Homo-oligomer: A and B are copies of this chain.
Amino acid sequence: MVSSLIQRVDRNKKVTVEAPATVANMVCGFDILGFAVDAPFDIMSIRFSHSRGITIIHEDDFQMPLEPEKNVAGAALLAMLEELPDFGCGLELHINKQIMPGSGVGSSAASAAGAVFAANQLLQCPFEKNDLIRFAMHGEKLASGVKHADNIAPCIYGGVTLIRSIFPLDVIPLSTPPLFVTIVHPQIEVRTADARSILKQHVLLKDAIKQWGNIAGLVAGLLNKDYELIGRSLEDVLIEPVRSILIPGFHEVKENAKRVGALGGGISGSGPSIFMLSTSQSIAELVEIEMKNIFTRIQLPFHTYVTQINHTGIRIIDN
């Protein structure tokens, strides 16, 4: 069926998508909860090419590798093509990255998920969303050494997604009330592998119980649109105390953000970005002012974003 679809496609067709940044490890939801934001996002176009294989053209200055097997978008596309044995032509992918690699807001996930989402559209959708997640996880594995879906799933589905299980894949989109997001990206390097290696393999059962009480509270707060419960549940007693030592200014950002009205927040992914959730644009902007003041004072270069939870996921802007 897939091969017959490919016979019918228009070889001049081009698909362009916006693939949004995402926040994984949503406070207490380490490894299972992530969400997409409206900005920043990568822009990517894909079309059939005359030469076989995958050709990658980066229209940004991030010096990403262009060999498909070394590029996260390429690795994801290769995984997809493995399940299309009769695919007889090549693909040309143009990537304009706007999400800075290493910032902790799902830069690799946006490239990997955006590439397979756009390619699936070009091929007239032989695959379902969960197939695309499987393919894109090959990009994540290339980037961090581990297949994980808590950036890819929200990038593809939009909104807040629960990844109950990776093997087998079980993704549950969670409805939420309006949530505004302020992100600060201090320009320091926190390698995902380092952030993972400092975690303890064992945790106290009593701390784990506290964590899963908060996770249950956060899920209930989101689904019941209960901002106060969301705020009370945004507490991570296991991961944040260990990882936050890698991020200068972390505790001050969190404290000041809550003082000006934020519900709470934490480390985005494995850092160094920090995110805070608020119930309004105006509070989210007050949080941004606090973030700017703190990183200006400690003399670290930084970027900030005031955005919202993105409920669409990857968006087709030209088809």
Contact = CB atoms under 8 A, between A and B. Distances in A.
Contacts of A233: 164
A224 B174 CA distance: 9
A205 to B, nearest CB: 5
Nearest to A170: B232
A211 B208 contact: yes
Interface residues of A, number: 40
Contacts of A213: 31-32, 162-165
B162 A216 contact: yes
Interface in A144-163: 162-163
A217 B31 contact: no
Given A172-B217, A229-B172, A203 B212 contact: no
A111 interface: no
B216 A205 contact: no
A220 B174 CA distance: 8
A235 to B, nearest CB: 9
A200 interface: yes
Contact of A217 (B30, B162, B205): B162
A29 interface: yes
B217 A170 contact: yes
Interface string A272-310: 000000000000000000000000000000000000000
A268 interface: no
A5 interface: no
A113 B204 CA distance: 30
A84 interface: no
A223 interface: yes
Contacts of A125: none
A214 interface: yes
A29 B214 CA distance: 12
Given A203-B205, A205-B199, A223-B223, A216 B31 contact: no
A218 B205 CA distance: 20
A212 B239 CA distance: 14
A17 interface: no
Contact of A164 (B162, B203, B214): B214
A216 B32 contact: yes
A172 B232 CA distance: 12
A206 B203 CA distance: 10
A208 B212 CA distance: 9
A8 interface: no
A29 B216 contact: yes
* A28, A212, A219, A233 interface centre (most CB from chain B within 10 Å): A212
Contact of A31 (B28, B172, B209): B209
A50 interface: no
Nearest to A200: B205
A201 interface: yes
Contacts of A75: none
Given A172-B229, A208-B212, A215-B215, 11 more contacts: A31-B209, A31-B213, A164-B213, A164-B216, A164-B233, A165-B213, A170-B217, A203-B204, A212-B215, A219-B223, A223-B224
